[in-house]
């Protein structure tokens, strides 16, 4: 169902311009004057909506500039530090645009069912059966608590690794042999066709 955000009033400029219980010498002149007056009212309503639109754009631009400055401050820091800020109550009345807030205020108020709370025996609020703004938040919170509890239960039910027989519950560790760089270089040289004299043979100069 589409919800109009801004409505230019009056919608029908020529309706209701002739009074019923007042005689007029010329009805055509009365309709013309009433239509012109309603047209001026439409222009006034249009200018008010234009001012509200430009004000909303200015607020969004200011918020975007503030976010860009905050990103610049992050790059200028010497050491990075994660600071995650979660937005809460995003769709509250404080963050609602002015035009939507005016439309919201024109809606009918809920019935005063909270006056019947003194007659209830379960201790619940009677108005929440008609309207509850925190219903979806409470539902999301219950789902998150269930997921956390299920993860804790699954973590406690993980199968344990079988222990080795006769090992006393300890695994045998493989000792890593130290690398011999000299021997590796000698093998590479021999593989390339070079001849290396053994260490136990002394070199003698020819006589």
- pLDDT band of 46, cuts 50, 70, 90: very high
Under 8 Å between Cβ of 5 and 99: yes
Q: How far apart are CA 74 and CA 67, in angstroms?
A: 11
**Are the C-beta atoms of residues 46 and 13 closer than 8 Å to each other?**
no
Give 88's pLDDT tier (boundaries 50, 70, 90): low
Domain boundaries, the chain: 1-107, 113-155
Please report the sign of the dihedral spanned by the C-alpha atoms of residue 111, residue 112, residue 114, residue 119: negative
pLDDT band at 207 (very low <50, low <70, confident <90, very high): low
Omega of the bond leading into 10 within 30 degrees of 0 (cis): yes
In a 3-state reduction of DSSP, which class is residue 127? helix
- Angstrom distances, CA of residue 119 to CA of 104, 123, 126, 129, 132: 31, 9, 10, 15, 20
The angle subtended at Cα 189 by Cα 186 and Cα 194, nearest 5°, is 120
Do 126 and 114 touch, CB atoms closer than 8 A? yes
The pLDDT value given to residue 44? 95
Which segment of 71-75, 89-93, 105-109, 168-172 scores lowest on mean pLDDT?
Answer: 168-172
């Amino acid at each position: 169902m589409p919800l109009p955000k801004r409505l230019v009033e009056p919608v029908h400029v020529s309706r209701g311009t002739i009074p019923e219980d007042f005689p007029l010498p010329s009805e055509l002149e009365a309709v013309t004057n009433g239509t012109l007056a309603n047209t001026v009212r439409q222009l006034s309503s249009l200018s008010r909506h234009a001012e509200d639109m430009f004000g909303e754009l200015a607020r969004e631009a200011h918020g975007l500039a503030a976010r860009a400055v905050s990103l610049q401050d992050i790059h200028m820091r010497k050491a990075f530090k994660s600071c995650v800020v979660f937005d809460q109550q995003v769709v509250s009345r404080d963050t609602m645009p002015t035009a939507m807030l005016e439309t919201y205020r024109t809606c009918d108020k809920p019935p005063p069912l909270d006056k019947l709370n003194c007659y209830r025996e379960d201790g619940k609020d009677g108005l929440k059966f008609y309207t509850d703004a925190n219903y979806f938040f409470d539902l999301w919170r219950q789902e998150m608590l269930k997921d956390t509890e299920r993860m804790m239960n699954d973590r406690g039910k993980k199968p344990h690794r079988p222990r080795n027989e006769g090992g006393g519950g300890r695994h045998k560790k493989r000792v890593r042999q130290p690398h011999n760089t000299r021997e590796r270089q000698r093998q590479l040289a021999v593989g390339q066709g070079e001849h290396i004299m053994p260490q136990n043979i002394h070199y003698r100069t020819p006589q």
